[in-house]
Amino acid sequence: MIKLRALFLLIIVFVSLQKIAAQQDTARIIPEKVNSDRTKPDEEVKNRLKPHLVAKLPSVLNETSGLAIVGGQLWTLNDGGNEAALYQIDTASGRVMRRVMVSNARNIDWESLTQDDSSIYIGDFGNNYGSRKNLRILKIAKYNLLNPANDSVEAGFISFAFADQVDFSSRLNQTNFDCEAFFYCNDSLHLFSKNWADQQTRHYVLPTAAGTYRACLLETFNADGLITDAAINRKGEIVLLGYKNTGGKFWNCFLWIFRDAGSNRLAGNKYTRIELGSALNLGQTEGLAFGEGERIWISSERISHSWVHLPARLFKVDLSKSD
């Protein structure tokens, strides 16, 4: 009888542990908190909010680092050291449909894509060492990019420096003046820094006309991680993509969603953080673009280490399920 009771208790403990493990594997959400301690997720997000894997990307896109829907087509680019090219990718298979070179530029450190009604912009502002003095944004006419007869295009240039940067010392992954994210809104380009030192993000603004400028600091937001891309939809909802080191070789990917329609600022906005899951499952999330409604596309670059190998991939997330 005693043995049967002990066996029964062991079964109860085992079932309870299984339930806890399943709950911990579920993506979680942190609701609006101003200057919050973001260590305590409050509400579970249903499994349907987890990124849906669409396709593996070909090896030519191993370092995909930006996304944009242009003329109904999904475009991407690779980051620094790769060829100065834009790639149209098929949204079902992930294969490359077109490759268009930018003939009058090189890829110093391309990181992000955005657009207005007539132009597409390439953010050549990756700055891992914090020492670059040649930050710029490339401006390309949409009609040239979308013309299937063109296999190359020319760009105009918006050169800039961060207005508040005075120290250009070279320190790998220790600077607050790296940048991988921007979007267009209200006749301006909005840039979001990747702060290695303090895990925040600074929001800067630039004009869209070719020229040389100082990027004006608009605000600072405690991102609690590294911001790798940004996007805004027609309703004015802003999304920031990033990842955070959780110790050693482990990184978690996340989104910040700002739902105050019509605002191009983060301050005073209703915001939510969604934990997407481990980079060991998703890869290094780098590219972000809005599709239809509140559906977003995310691209992750290849991870290749002795202990893990993941190809570049394309994901989709439906943000309407996060309300």
Taking only the tens of pLDDT, the chain with its 323 residues reads 444 454 444 444 444 444 333 333 333 333 333 344 443 333 444 334 689 999 999 999 999 999 999 999 999 999 999 999 999 999 999 999 999 999 999 999 999 999 999 999 999 999 999 999 999 999 999 999 999 999 999 999 999 999 999 999 999 999 999 999 999 999 999 999 999 999 999 999 999 999 999 999 999 999 999 999 999 999 899 999 999 998 887 899 999 999 876 677 898 888 999 999 999 999 999 999 999 888 999 999 999 887 789 999 999 999 887 76
Report d(CA 6, CA 29) in Å as an integer: 38
Residue 261: the pLDDT is 64
Q: Is residue 10 part of a domain?
A: no
Residue 276: the pLDDT is 94
b/e sequence 297-306, b meaning 16+ C-beta within 10 Å: bbbbbbbeee
Q: Is residue 9 part of a domain?
A: no
On the CB side of 168, how many CA atoms lie within 13 Å of its CA?
Answer: 8
Which positions ≥6 away from 88 have C-beta within 8 Å? 73, 74, 75, 96, 97, 98, 99, 100
Residue 99 belongs to domain spanning: 50-322
Say how many domains are in the chain: 1
Determine how β-strand 43-44 pairs with β-strand 309-310: unpaired
Report d(CA 114, CA 123) in Å as an integer: 8
Query: 15, 136, 2, 140: which is closest to 71 by C-alpha?
Result: 140
Q: How many CB atoms lie within 10 A of CB 69?
A: 17
Query: 134, 138, 133: which is closest to 153 by C-alpha?
Result: 138
Q: Is residue 67 part of a domain?
A: yes
Give residue 285's identity as a one-letter amino acid code: T
Residue 160: the pLDDT is 98
Q: Is residue 95 part of a domain?
A: yes
Q: Is residue 3 part of a domain?
A: no
Q: Is residue 91 part of a domain?
A: yes
Q: Is residue 246 a contact partner of residue 254, using CB atoms and an 8 Å limit?
A: no
Q: What are the tokens at 251?
A: 């990184």
Q: Is residue 208 part of a domain?
A: yes
Which positions ≥6 away from 68 have C-beta within 8 Å? 74, 75, 76, 113, 114, 115, 120, 289
Residue 146's Cα: distance from chain center in Å? 24
Residue 249: the pLDDT is 79
Q: Is residue 255 part of a domain?
A: yes
Residue 32: the pLDDT is 35
Task: Tell me the CA end-to-end span of the chain in Å, nearest whole number.
Answer: 51
b/e sequence 159-183, b meaning 16+ C-beta within 10 Å: ebbbeebeeeeeeeeebbbbbbbbb
What CATH number is given to the structural domain containing 150? Answer: 2.120.10
Q: Is residue 285 a contact partner of residue 239, using CB atoms and an 8 Å limit?
A: no
Query: 203, 184, 183, 185: which is closest to 193 by C-alpha?
Result: 203
Q: Is residue 140 a contact partner of residue 99, using CB atoms and an 8 Å limit?
A: no
Report d(CA 75, CA 142) in Å as an integer: 12
Dihedral of the CA atoms 97, 66, 272, 219 (nearest 10)? -150
The DSSP secondary structure of 294-316, one letter per residue, reads TEEEEEEE-EE-SS-EE--EEEE
